[in-house]
Amino acid sequence: MVEAVLITDADFDIASEYETLKQAGVGAVVIFSGVVRDNADNPRLVAMTLEHYPGMTEMEISAIIEEAKRRWPVSGVRVIHRVGRLLPEENIVFVGSASAHRQAAFESAAFIMDYLKTKAPFWKKEETEEGANWVDARETDEDALKRWE
Amino acid sequence: MRILYFAWMREHTGCSSEEIQLPEEVETIAELAEYLRGRSAGHEAALRNMKTVRVAVNRRYAQLDSTVSAGDEIAFFPPVTGG
């Protein structure tokens, strides 16, 4: 079982993450990466700063991975989440899931991402030219969990 | 007892963590929040509306009626916005 949870201020390399997941020795690898929305989407966004609760964050993500392993036959999961100040178009989050079956890889990656968004203790602060604001939690993220009940 | 604050709650209280002596009459998270509100105007602002606040006891999610004890690490934070 290839498994890792990494909270870091450094960028990650998607190609090498993919190679690591392939070493789980299976037929399917699904990768999700989240990116800071670029200027076309939010023209006033200068940067995004991410804060987290060290210790609890890793515990929550590990618990989500454990639940995913109970539900799907996954043989590899890697989750990376960046913290600190990020600029538009920088990588924020990586979730990779490997399995012998594509459906298990697709579904487990989506499950982990949905739960990460609503349970893992991270907070985003947006910097715009007018000032900085903490991002509000979205009900649509909470609603996304219903499909896994 | 160690109390942690994150995101805008940290900005209101002016500290990311503080050590307090747990008063004997404080048994639950709700009572602890009430007690902490008395520490400063910033604490009052941060902990005024507990419906918008999430709580963890020893790094696990807890509820307003969860009990607290002297050696606990208690964290108050807004709903999470990672990913």
- Domains identified in chain A, total number: 1
**pLDDT tens track of chain A, all 149 residues?**
889 999 999 999 999 999 999 998 789 999 999 999 876 666 789 999 999 999 999 999 999 999 999 999 999 999 999 999 999 999 999 999 999 999 999 999 999 999 999 999 999 999 998 899 999 998 888 889 999 99
Please tell me the predicted confidence (pLDDT) of residue A142.
87
Kindly determine whether residue A117 and residue B60, on different chains, have CB atoms separated by under 8 Å. Answer: no
β-strands A74-82, A2-8 pairing: parallel
SS3 A57: helix
pLDDT in tens, B2-18: 999 999 999 999 999 99
- A136 contacts in chain B (CB < 8 Å): 79, 81
Please tell me the predicted confidence (pLDDT) of residue A24.
87
CATH class of B2-77: alpha beta
Please tell me the predicted confidence (pLDDT) of residue A40.
65
Show the domain range for A140. Answer: 2-148
Smallest Cα distance from A1 to chain B, Å: 24
ipTM rounded to 2 decimals: 0.95
Query: Phi, psi at residue A101, to the nearest 5°?
Result: -125, 135
Chain B: residue whose CA lies nearest to A63: B60
Kindly determine whether residue B59 and residue A55, on different chains, have CB atoms separated by under 8 Å. Answer: yes
Please tell me the predicted confidence (pLDDT) of residue B17.
98
Kindly determine whether residue A123 and residue B6, on different chains, have CB atoms separated by under 8 Å. Answer: yes
Please tell me the predicted confidence (pLDDT) of residue A1.
80
Please tell me the predicted confidence (pLDDT) of residue A139.
86
Extents of the domains making up chain B: 2-77
- B7 contacts in chain A (CB < 8 Å): 51, 123, 125, 134
- A56 contacts in chain B (CB < 8 Å): 56, 59-60, 75
Q: Which of A50, A81, A121 lies at the smallest CB-CB distance from B77?
A: A121
| CATH number of the domain encompassing residue A98 | 3.90.1170.40
Please tell me the predicted confidence (pLDDT) of residue B3.
98
Of B78, B79, B64, B6, give the one whose Cα is nearest residue B32: B64
Q: Which of B4, B75, B82 lies at the smallest CB-CB distance from A120?
A: B82
Chains A–B, number of C-beta pairs less than 8 Å apart: 69
3-state secondary structure chain B: CEEEECHHHHHHHCCCEEECCCCCCCCEHHHHHHHHHCCCHHHHHHCCCHHHCEEEECCEEECCCCECCCCCEEEEECCCCCC
Kindly determine whether residue B59 and residue A59, on different chains, have CB atoms separated by under 8 Å. Answer: yes
Kindly determine whether residue A56 and residue B60, on different chains, have CB atoms separated by under 8 Å. Answer: yes
Of A28, A10, A6, A25, give the one whose Cα is nearest residue A95: A6
Residue ranges, chain B, pLDDT below 70: none
